[in-house]
Amino acid sequence: MLKVAPAGETAADATMRRRVRTSRQLLVLALILALAALLSLSVGPSGTTLLALPRVLAELVGYSAKTDGHEALVLLDIRLPRTLLAIYVGASLAIAGAMMQGLFRNPLADPGLIGVSSGAALAAVALIAFGETHAPALKEALGVHAVPIAAFVGGLAATAVLIGMTSGKRGVSTATLLLAGVAIAALTQALMGVAAYLSDDRALRDLTLWTLGSLAGASWTKVIGALPFMALLLILLPRLVRDLNGLLLGEAEAFHLGIDVRRAKLLIMLATAAAVGAAVAVAGIVGFVGIVTPHIVRLAAGPDHRFLLPASAMLGATLGLAADIVARMAVAPAELPLGIVTALIGAPFFLHLVLRRGVHG
Amino acid sequence: MASAPAPAIEADGVSFEVGGARLVEGVHLAVRAGQVMGILGPNGAGKSTFLKLVSGELEPTSGRILFDGVPIARAEPALLARRRAVVPQSSQLTFPFTALEVVLLGASVPGFGHARDAVAAAERALKRVGLIELAERRYTELSGGERQRVHIARAICQIETAPRRPGETPLLLVDEPTSNLDIGHQRLVLSAIREIAAEGAAVLAVLHDINLAAGYCDLLALLRDGRLIACGPPAEIVRNDLLSRTFGCEIDANTTPANTPFVLPITRDAVEGGQAAARVR
């Protein structure tokens, strides 16, 4: 399909035109995200809607009207942190997916599928199951950040193993990536099984939630716990855009373009672990957001990470919110785990991509 | 009168060993600003390895690579990228960048100029390789030859936008730039490379085709088993004895009436046998 440029247009004009178009697209994505966030605040099995917000706010600033405190609890302590976490989980998983795909030069890399989420979950589970009894001082010292830090370290370890296994290869085949993911997932599941076997009932329930992925336990504690990792991700991302674009050409060519490949890979690894670690810490293993989102963005606007990363973040956040609303409402007053909703949407999509692309690509 | 400036690219006794195998052994070469040097040799002679040593991708086991008389050992990747651009033999790009976006990556080195200048430079580079009509086409939809030209344009764009300091010669390193091209585009690309040299760059090109190399290069270097067999102007290099020794087979060199050296890809026997067959018919 040949795009015909308007008569007399230079490449510079076309580039400017494309920039205007992409900033418009980002604006539209931001609006859709805002709408999804409002919807997430309005919808829930308790029946409280956003209409209660003015009353709740009035109560907060002291002009107490006749509210029963229930609405404030639902909006501010249940739905608001849950909405923020859904945004964070969706955005960071989508960004992590885009980064892994760039690093491995394979659009089928997803933190959930290639074992990064499993690594993060294993470390978090180990902390939940054994932290209290075996390292109480450490858990105490880390406070609300304990689980996110454990998940970050676990994600980092899994990413390092993956990079070590695939380093120096000319593009990593889907088969290699997925098999590595299967191996890492099998290992972590076995170890999580050991943790489950050894842990008490309360830890066991937490553990089950982890592996399915859920935002049911959303709280301000979790929002604050994950905050440093969101900050780390936001600091690292702008520095990675150029490196990721260059790495799409291959590591040798990235070096020719002046990219310090070792340093770039290290930073991408850190950013991925921060994104996945914090997402796993607050929601457990949520798959497929990282593969569906960047794919849609690339179809619409190409693989330039200057656009791909922010657009994936916003679209991923929107998908995270949408999936969580479904998780809350589909079988209300009970809940579906978020990871099951994303898998129901994402797995067929993934299958379609694999069939079209083939595992050797 | 000051002494002549140092060569733009100099290999000073460069050797490279990996796992006990000597891939490059004691190579001395020099390319000056404005010159195009072609590297010829059989498969596995160490041509691509030598190019990687010059680009800084590999570190020599012994010996030095110098740009304008300054050794490049342990130079930062960004610094190297300001000095030299590289066109690799093949690329791993499978993501759907447009041709223009790929060329623009050449201008994305830190410290390089502004976006507007970069787009203009990218556009000029695409024109030079005859691809401006395909600027907005997805790279993944291009043919092998078109992709190769996109990468040459990217390297040209990198050279054009690099903020070099006075006395720094732009360097272009190309590995088989014409392997996927038809004869018309081979000429187009080599002419573009000659233009870059005419504008002051030093060019080092690994080439397969002896005739193209003889026609477009100022200097030819013959490599065999990692060793330099000979180096000099085409008229001194395209000779039966040197070529036969380098390639390990009988090669019959000749010259055109305009004194350009050339070789035929078939043997003398085949030529004469063919003529005999034609006479019989």
Shortest CA gap A238–chain B (Å): 13
Q: What is the DSSP string of A307-354?
A: HHHHHHHHHHHHHHHHHHHHHHHTTTTS---HHHHHHHHHHHHHHHHH
Q: Is the confidence at residue A53, as pLDDT, over 50? A: yes
Q: Is B2 inside any structural domain?
A: no
Q: Which chain B residues are Cβ-neighbours of A259 within 8 angstroms?
A: 77-78
Q: CB pairs below 8 Å between A and B: how many?
A: 97
User: How much of chain B exceeds pLDDT 90, in percent?
Assistant: 72
B74 touches chain A (CB under 8 A): no
Length of chain A: 361
The DSSP 8-state label assigned to residue B64 in this structure reads: E
As a whole-number percent, the residues of chain A with pLDDT over 70 amount to 90
Distance (Å, whole) CA A141 – CA A164: 32
Please state the domain extents for chain A: 74-357
Interior angle at CA B164, CA B161 and CA B165, nearest 5? 155
State the pLDDT at residue B173: 97
Residues of A with CB below 8 A from B132's CB? Answer: 11
Mean pLDDT over A289-313 rounds to 92
CB–CB of A137/A324 below 8 Å? no
C-alpha distance from A356 to closest chain B C-alpha (Å): 14
Of A5, A242, A298, the CB nearest to B108: A242
Q: Could you report the per-residue pLDDT of A202-224, keeping only the tens digit for each?
A: 777 777 777 788 888 888 988 99
Q: Which amino acid is at A179?
A: L
pLDDT tens readout for residues A103-157: 888 888 888 888 888 899 888 888 877 777 777 777 777 777 888 898 999 999 9
Contacts of B121 in chain A (CB under 8 A): none
pLDDT band (50, 70, 90) for residue A297? very high
For A89, what's the count of Cα atoms within 13 Å in the CB-facing half-sphere? 35
- Is residue B1, in this structure, part of any structural domain at all? no
Task: Give the pLDDT confidence score for residue B5 in this predicted structure.
Answer: 83
- Residue B138, beta-bridge partner list: B98
Does a structural domain hold residue B48? yes
pLDDT at B185: 92
Of B74, B62, B63, give the one whose Cα is nearest residue B29: B63
Amino acid A52: pLDDT: 75
Complex ipTM, two decimals? 0.92
Domain total in chain B: 1
Structural domain span for residue B43: 9-280
Tell me which chain A residue has its CA closest to the CA of residue B120. A12
Q: State how far the Cα of B116 lies from the Cα of B40, in Å rounded to an integer.
A: 39
Q: How confident is the prediction along chain B (281 residues), in pLDDT tens digits per residue?
A: 456 789 999 999 999 999 889 999 999 999 999 999 999 999 999 999 999 999 999 999 999 999 999 999 988 999 999 999 999 988 888 899 999 999 999 988 776 766 778 889 999 999 999 999 999 999 999 998 899 999 999 999 999 998 888 889 999 999 999 988 999 999 999 999 999 999 999 999 999 999 999 999 999 999 999 999 999 999 999 999 999 999 988 888 888 888 888 888 777 676 666 665 555 55
Sign of CA dihedral A219, A225, A227, A230: negative
CATH H-level superfamily of A74-357? ABC transporter involved in vitamin B12 uptake, BtuC (1.10.3470.10)
Query: Please, which pLDDT band fits residue A66 given cuts at 50, 70 and 90?
Result: low
Query: What does pLDDT average to over chain A?
Result: 84
Q: Give CA–CA dist B58/B14, Å, rounded.
A: 11
Q: Could you identify the residue written with the tokens 């607050």?
A: A282
Q: CATH no. for residue B166? A: 3.40.50.300
The mean pLDDT value for A236-257 works out to 92
Residue B144 to residue B172: CA distance in whole angstroms: 21
Among all chains, which residue has been given the structure tokens 């002549």?
A: B4
- Per-residue confidence (pLDDT) for residue B77, from 0 to 100: 93
pLDDT at site A86? 95
* Contact criterion met (CB < 8 Å) for A11 and B88: no
